[in-house]
A and B are shown apart, each in its own frame.
Chain A
């Protein structure tokens, strides 16, 4: 199980990565992240929305109201150009960190 500190750091990367596949509303976004990480990353409402609003303020994502086929109004989030630009260095940073950790743990096991 991943600890809360790492989760906080990876949360933005997770949201940006999932939104790269297409626009999603908050509930579906949380579900998708939970499914794709097999439950390792799980967002409650209290954790998700402050983060989404902060990311929206930074211009990485943009929310807009849409009506579903069932007639329910939901706010869908899309990745902006700034978000796409942010995603690639973020991915690189985390990839480097995980590679470093893998190397470190291998050394430790040896």
Chain B
């Protein structure tokens, strides 16, 4: 029995859609060809004749590839971009910000205590920061799932996962150095350390947490897609 998915994949090579979307199109067209071929076999054709007649449905695969691409993207570039990038991105941003606020309002209240050790300085921040940080993988997973479901490319998915840390990143990149230059009340000597710690705590660590959740979802979805491909071949 012919591997129709391999046949379609080879002939639709120029199809510039996201990997998940391309795999869906290939699987669907392959299923159609397989059914056409089976029907022709039932009508008494030899396997070779049936395969040739099935493939003859498409005169120009390049043209079909262009038509499919245009049908799936051209009419609704904005909608696709919104579904694949902006919607998951803004949702992850909204959820992460809301969660931080909720932890501040309803979470454990940090006590201001006399400084006896480095821990006593970190602890009040940590009771707000850590619950938020540990919830970020879930938010990253949600962003990855939504972007993938809308047929987003790997790049769109990655961008929507790390989107919540971009405002912090922009702040540390722009606002903090600007403040350091124009505000003479701030000691310039401590700014580099503050910048480094801030970047680590509010950009690197949250991005890593978001990406952990997103990567797990991506792994799960790609395995499920592989399983589907095996099942349909």
Give the interface of A toward B (CB within 8 A): 25-27, 44-46, 48-51, 53-54, 57-58, 65, 71-75
Contact = CB atoms under 8 A, between A and B. Distances in A.
B28 A26 contact: yes
Interface stretch (B31-39, B176-184, B199-207): B31-39
Given A45-B58, A72-B232, A54 B28 contact: no
Nearest to B229: A73
Contact of A26 (B32, B60, B70): B32
A25 B32 CA distance: 9
Nearest to B60: A46
Contact of A53 (B59, B60, B68, B231): B68
B197 interface: no
Interface string B16-49: 0000000011011101110110000000000000
Interface string B49-77: 00000000111100110011011100110
Q: Binding site of B, secondary structure by majority: helix, strand, loop or mixed?
A: helix
Given A53-B71, A53-B72, A27 B64 contact: no
Interface of B: 24-25, 27-29, 31-33, 35-36, 57-60, 63-64, 67-68, 70-72, 75-76, 79, 228, 231-232
Contacts of A75: 24, 27-28, 31
Contacts of B72: 53, 57
Contacts of A44: 57-58
Contacts of B64: 45-46, 49-50
Contacts of B76: 57
Contacts of B31: 25-27, 72-75
Contacts of A25: 31
A54 B59 CA distance: 20
Contacts, number: 64
A73 B231 contact: yes
27 contacts: A26-B28, A44-B58, A45-B33, A45-B57, A46-B64, A48-B32, A49-B25, A49-B28, A49-B68, A49-B71, A50-B64, A50-B67, A50-B68, A53-B68, A53-B71, A53-B72, A54-B71, A57-B71, A57-B72, A57-B75, A57-B76, A73-B31, A73-B231, A74-B31, A75-B27, A75-B28, A75-B31
B35 A46 contact: no
A27 B71 contact: no
Nearest to A73: B232
Contact of A51 (B24, B36, B71, B232): B71
A92 B36 CA distance: 34
